[in-house]
Amino acid sequence: MAAQNLLADRTIIVTGAATGIGQAFAVGCAAQGANVVIADLNSADETVALVEQVGGRALAVKVDVSDDASTQAMAQAALDRFGRIDGLVNNAAYFREVKLTPFEEIDPAIWDRIFQVNVKGVWQCSKAVLPAMRKQGGGAIVNIASVVAVAGQPGYLHYVATKGAVLSMTKGLAKECGAHGVRVNVIAPGFVITGATQNRPIEWQQSFLKARAISREQRPDDLVGTALYLLSDLSGFVSGQTIIVDGGHIMY
Ligand SMILES: NC(=O)c1ccc[n+]([C@@H]2O[C@H](COP(=O)([O-])OP(=O)(O)OC[C@H]3O[C@@H](n4cnc5c(N)ncnc54)[C@H](O)[C@@H]3O)[C@@H](O)[C@H]2O)c1
């Protein structure tokens, strides 16, 4: 993709960008002129290389979004390197590890951990970037939920509950941050083929595919255009909204 200017000179932090959907967001933002902070628990060398291939500037930061001090350090590293923070994509999640479990058998420790990462993590990353956005007079936060928060999914109650919380938090944050010029929106992806989902039951993949208006596999790149829209001035008067990107499975 040739470099363009939708996000020229802006700094965007993408959490969970070492792989999968987050990696696609990071590369997509870089291709639109952004400086990208690739924030992940794991090594992000592959994403850094891909960002540089499209002519972007990348900073890899090790972060655990469930740890408040770690998210503060992430925001500070972005400011030290690029001097500003214009966008945050709250994409990191406890997701790959989630096991299909009847709700009454979910381990309470796993229940707590998934909320720490998927819900507390979104809160902590958002509060870490807010002071910089407020000082600059604005910014955009894009949360990543899931279509299962709208449609439900048996065997994943803890995960479904966290993504439902992300939908509600988006609205609460949008109301609270609007006065500072900060917009907050959420994308709910359908079943996307990534390293996290490739081992999920094949019947699942097939059932999602059959239910779609656009009957093909969903890939990480299918989400990038919506994220760019929400991060850029194209959506300057849009806040608190949920956009389902699932090939026309759930419609409302
Ligand atoms: N793949 C799908 O079908 C699908 C569908 C709906 C929603 N989602 C959501 O999209 C996002 C990305 O999913 P994916 O399929 O790319 O998953 P993935 O497992 O490939 O990527 C998740 C990334 O988050 C990082 N991460 C996990 N815990 C972290 C923590 N505590 N701190 C920092 N980084 C952490 C991981 O290291 C990994 O790089 C998640 O929020 C997921 O819930 C995925």
Query: Is 252 considered catalytic here?
Result: no
Q: Is the CB of 186 under 6 A from ligand 1?
A: no
CA 160, 163, 167, 172 dihedral sign is: positive
* Contact status, residue 87 vs residue 141, Cβ threshold 8 Å: yes
Residue 251 falls inside a structural domain: no
For 142-176, how does the pLDDT look when each residue is reduced to its tens digit (9 = 90+)? 999 999 999 999 999 999 999 999 999 999 999 99
Q: What is the CATH number for 18?
A: 3.40.50.720
How far apart, in whole angstroms, are the C-alpha atoms of residue 199 and residue 37?
29
For 20-61, how does the pLDDT look when each residue is reduced to its tens digit (9 = 90+)? 999 999 999 999 999 999 999 999 999 999 999 999 999 999
- Cβ contacts of residue 13 below 8 Å, gap of 6+? 36, 37, 39, 74, 75, 78, 85, 87, 88, 89, 125, 129
Residue 4 falls inside a structural domain: no
For 52-110, how does the pLDDT look when each residue is reduced to its tens digit (9 = 90+)? 999 999 999 999 999 999 999 999 999 999 999 999 999 999 999 999 999 999 999 99
Q: Is the CB of 157 under 6 A from ligand 1?
A: no
Ligand 1 pocket: which of 15, 21, 88, 166 to mutate (most atoms <8 Å of CB)? 21
Residue with tokens 């058998």: 105
Give the structural domain span for 220.
Answer: 11-245
Report in angstroms the alpha-carbon separations of 196 from 78, 154, 176, 204: 27, 18, 33, 14
Residue 6 falls inside a structural domain: no
Token pair, residue 11, equals: 């700094």
Structural domains of the chain, count: 1
- Cβ contacts of residue 233 below 8 Å, gap of 6+? none
